[in-house]
């Protein structure tokens, strides 16, 4: 009301009244909404005004007593208008001051929110902070947030005392996702139980992340445009911090995965022999290069007193961590069977490997190729079982290398398959390559494979070297052929050379 500001301009009113009295009036009375604001001169009690002047822009009027000529009406209206303008300006100035103070308070609140968010790393902590500050800044009693990343399980947080069920929050969120105009505000027909008013706003995060803030039950009045603007402002603040928190957690997850993969890589390296145990009458050497940090190829050799020298190599279908886990299982079973050596033939060991792995392999739809060889120095014979393993290349001394075909199916396909043992007598200078298909299937820039023929040619060229030199020379040729392109598959091989 303009009467509230009269005391600030009482002198101006008295000057106005004196000017009108000088024109012939005896006294002046000032009214707002028929309520007397002031009388001049004080103590005068005139009965009936001679002129009533009103202001069209307000409820203010001025009653003039005495004898004032009608020709002064325009002048008195102008003077009254000027005085009302003074009161109106005072009112507007106070309103502007209040608005500026409110804006300042909200800016300070946003700054404090930003400072608090900068020191908060956890996602749930940020959502809790948003709930608390939203209620405080918007003078509400209920708030909740929901965050969902890539359709994963939602994170839902709410201020203490909200007592909303997750089903209710998910239902409101689902309705909002279908219609972003679904803010509910003061639409009482649609409000959840216990709500008198409400707003819902999206929190801006990257595309694959959906985040939302809901605030309800404003204590005084309903949510208006200033409230929504303020809510948008601190949603933007928290959205940026949530983005940082998500990146931080993703970085932690990546670092954790890299650490675990490195550990798995080191464990797998420890399971693959760097130097094979020596055996009478032969040189034997092997190497394994996984396509990724871990692989599905396995190999080892077992040398025990009073037992034939045994070695094995295998390839789990697939690559990466899943193949590495299965490789560990297969390697453990084969090593245990050979180390305890209750068997005299390799087909018996392969049968044991198949029985132990078939049930697990059939559940996940994988298999393994494998080669198990047993060297008998006394008879200079190699007994072996080949369960789908390729390539196996035999290079007899003085003859061209030949590819030996597998006589049995891979492990893990048929539980009751009867594996067979093949025997060959080896002579001085003979070379045997036992490898996985990562060698012949290595590709060059034109997608051309290294192939079996080139593998045989390379073995023929290197056959006069030691087993270790043949192994390294063969891998070097494959590396040059591939021009250091990334491997498509694990590369594992064993070279056996008869002394």
- Residue where one domain finishes, among candidates 66, 97, 128: 97
- 394 falls within a domain: yes
CA-CA distances (angstroms) from residue 89 to 2, 158, 169, 336, 356? Answer: 10, 45, 48, 97, 94
CA distance 23 to 65: 12
Structural domain that includes position 65: 2-97
Number of compact structural domains in the chain: 3
Q: Are residues 459 and 345 part of one domain? A: yes
Q: Are residues 234 and 180 part of one domain? A: yes
CATH number reported for the structural domain that contains residue 181 in this entry: 3.30.450.40
- 485 falls within a domain: yes
Q: Are residues 309 and 428 part of one domain? A: yes
What would the pLDDT profile of 85-107 be if each residue is shown by its tens digit? 877 777 767 666 555 545 555 65
Q: Are residues 462 and 426 part of one domain? A: yes
Q: Are residues 128 and 85 part of one domain? A: no
Beta pairing partners, 298: 314
Q: Residue for token digits 């939203």?
A: 134
Q: Which two tokens stand for residue 470?
A: 């043949």
Q: Are residues 479 and 364 part of one domain? A: yes
Q: Is the peptide bond before 391 cis (omega within 30 degrees of 0)?
A: yes
Burial tier of 451 (Cβ tally within 10 Å: 0-12, 13-18, 19+) = middle
What is the 3-state secondary structure of 446-463?
CCCECHHHHHHHHHHHHC
Q: What are the residue ranges in the chain where pLDDT is below 50? A: 101
CB of 109 closer than 8 Å to CB of 137: yes
Determine the number of helices (DSSP H) and then strands (DSSP E) in the chain.
Answer: 9, 18
pLDDT value at residue 494: 95
- 114 falls within a domain: no
pLDDT value at residue 285: 94
């Amino acid at each position: 009301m303009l009467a509230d500001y009269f005391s600030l301009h009482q002198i101006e009113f008295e000057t106005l009244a004196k000017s009108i009295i000088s024109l012939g009036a005896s006294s002046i009375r000032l009214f707002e909404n028929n309520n007397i604001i002031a009388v001049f001169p004080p103590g005068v009690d005139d009965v009936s005004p001679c002129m009533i002047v009103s202001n069209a822009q307000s409820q203010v009027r001025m009653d003039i007593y005495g004898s004032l000529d009608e020709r002064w009406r325009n002048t008195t209206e102008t003077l009254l208008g000027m005085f009302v303008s003074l009161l109106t300006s005072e009112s507007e100035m106070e309103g502007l001051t209040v608005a500026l103070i409110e804006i300042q308070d909200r800016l300070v609140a946003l700054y404090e929110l930003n400072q608090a968010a900068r020191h908060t790393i956890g996602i749930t902590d940020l959502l809790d902070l948003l709930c608390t500050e939203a209620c405080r800044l918007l003078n509400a009693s209920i708030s909740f947030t929901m965050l969902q990343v890539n359709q994963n399980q939602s994170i839902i947080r709410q201020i203490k005392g909200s007592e909303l069920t997750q089903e209710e929050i998910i239902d409101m969120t689902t309705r909002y996702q279908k219609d972003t105009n679904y803010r509910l505000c003061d639409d009482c027909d649609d409000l959840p139980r216990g709500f008198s008013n409400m707003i819902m706003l999206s929190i801006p995060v990257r595309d694959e992340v959906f985040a939302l803030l809901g605030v309800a039950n404003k204590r005084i009045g309903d949510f208006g445009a200033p409230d929504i603007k303020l809510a948008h402002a601190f949603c933007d603040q928290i959205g940026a911090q949530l983005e940082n928190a998500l990146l931080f957690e993703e970085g932690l997850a990546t670092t954790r995965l890299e650490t675990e993969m490195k550990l798995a890589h080191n464990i797998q390296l420890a399971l693959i022999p760097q130097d094979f145990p020596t055996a009478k009458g032969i040189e034997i050497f092997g190497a394994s290069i996984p396509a990724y940090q871990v692989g599905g190829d396995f190999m080892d050799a077992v040398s025990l007193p009073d037992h034939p020298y045994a070695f094995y190599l295998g390839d789990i279908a697939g690559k990466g961590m899943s193949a590495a886990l299965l490789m560990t299982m297969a390697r453990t079973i084969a090593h245990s069977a050979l180390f305890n050596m209750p068997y005299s033939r390799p087909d018996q060991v392969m049968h044991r490997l198949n029985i132990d792995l078939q049930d697990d392999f059939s559940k996940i739809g994988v298999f393994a190729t494998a080669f198990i060889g047993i060297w008998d120095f006394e008879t200079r014979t190699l007994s072996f079982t080949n369960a789908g393993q390729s390539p196996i290349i035999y290079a007899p001394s003085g003859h061209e290398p030949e590819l030996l075909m597998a006589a049995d199916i891979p492990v893990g396909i048929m539980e009751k398959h009867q594996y067979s043992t093949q025997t060959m007598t080896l002579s001085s200078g003979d070379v045997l390559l036992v490898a996985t298909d990562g060698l012949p299937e290595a590709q060059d820039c034109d997608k051309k494979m290294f192939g079996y023929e080139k593998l045989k040619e390379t073995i023929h060229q290197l056959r006069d070297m030691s087993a270790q030199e043949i192994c390294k020379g063969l891998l070097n040729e494959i590396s040059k052929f591939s021009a250091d392109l990334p491997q498509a598959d694990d590369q594992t091989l064993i070279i056996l050379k008869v002394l």
